[in-house]
Amino acid sequence: MREKSWFREYGLILAAGVAVGIAALILTASGNPKNMGFCIACFLRDIAGALGLHSAANVQYIRPEIIGIVVGAAAAALAAREFRAKAGASPACRFVLGMFVMIGALVFLGCPLRMVIRLGGGDLTAVAGLVGFIAGILVGVVCLKKGFSLGRAYPVRMGEGFVLSGILMALLGLLLLVPTLLKFSEAGPGSMRAFWGISLAAGLVVGVLAQRSRLCMAGGIRDAVMLRDFKLLSGFLAIWGTVTIGNLVLGSYSLSALSQPIAHSQYLWSALGMALAGWGSILLGGCPLRQLILAGEGNGDSAVTVLGMIVGAAVSHNFGLAGAADSVAEDGTYVVGGIGTAGMAAVAIGFAVLLAITVTHLPKTEAVSRD
């Protein structure tokens, strides 16, 4: 009975983690950037570029993985009768939080999902991001214990719940039928892409399994700290284990802090960027992947958050806030990347904004009058 109970509790989340890990390996082998496969922040940034929201020529492409995740989550929610069109829980604040979660992630060069995938490839620079992410989540947990809340969402018309899915399907139509209206990278990470059908299929599988299992790294660490519940966290451990084993088998595992693909060695700012992303994710109720899943389930507030992340990506590249990867010059000199003064200022501003949103959404203390 105990074995059945354990399998019932952990089986789906572990299966989802293994599936995401395998999907990341397949996508990388099919053309996506190394140590990536899946990265919500990077892919939303590429979509912003493809739409001309920023002019960074190396990161422009409509990523079918994102479309698949949202549509897959919507299909799974409809099939399970869990689709709920709702909105109205501080959408403007969620938009801003989405922006700064994205800014923090692009300072690090990856979302929480890519952070785990980077670790699975032996990228030791990602350890700094993990430390910062956990620290940010711990700050968020303190906020939750103080009573922080963005409020309650209310039922809205059914069509409202399909807005983001509809927008993404329209982008897929443009990609396949009218690609001349979009921008495409000819070099850099945006030019590294798997065949669109493979990418879309991988996104659909991840969307379905993440919706059914509630996969969320920020939520996993939050639950482990607050409730001593390790169920959600086990899903990301499964991703890490699967990617690690896969890279070892394929001979692509490289345990090093140098010359890692699309990564930099400014460890302090990697940590601070992911701390910003972690804190913001807790205030939002989930990491970037979870926001896509919730949007697919009909949550308009999460759809607004995703749009905020897309704008955050555009802001990051238009104003030079994103991190630059370490590289090797033609003469063999190792060039350290990282972020500039503008990116550092953006992270500091992000912490100030998150603090302001936190303070203004704590319960009001009512004075008790005495007769």
pLDDT in tens, 107-140: 999 999 999 999 999 999 999 999 999 999 999 9
pLDDT of residue 369: 40
In which band, very low, low, confident or very high, does the pLDDT at 6 lie, cut at 50, 70 and 90? Answer: low
pLDDT of residue 107: 98
Q: Distance between CA atoms of 51 and 279, rounded to whole angstroms?
A: 29
- Is residue 228's pLDDT more than 90? yes
- Is residue 368's pLDDT more than 70? no
In which band, very low, low, confident or very high, does the pLDDT at 3 lie, cut at 50, 70 and 90? Answer: low
pLDDT of residue 274: 98
Instruction: At 280, list the tokens.
Output: 């913001």
Dihedral of CA 225/231/233/237: which sign? positive
Point out the least confidently predicted range of 34-43, 198-207, 273-282, 283-292.
34-43
Q: What is the mean pLDDT of the chain?
A: 94
Q: Are strands 154-155 and 334-335 parallel, antiparallel or unpaired?
A: unpaired
Rounded to 5°, the CA angle 191-194-199 comes to 125
What are the start-end ranges of the H helices in 160-299? 163-177, 196-213, 217-226, 231-250, 267-284, 288-296
Q: Where are the domains of the chain?
A: 2-360
Task: State the number of CA atoms in the 13 A half-sphere of 23 facing the CB.
Answer: 29
Task: Give CA torsion, residues 202, 184, 186, 56, to 10 deg.
Answer: -110
- E strand spans, the chain: 86-87, 154-155, 327-328, 334-335
pLDDT digits over 327-349, tens only? 888 777 888 899 999 999 999 99
- Is residue 207's pLDDT more than 80? yes
In which band, very low, low, confident or very high, does the pLDDT at 366 lie, cut at 50, 70 and 90? Answer: very low
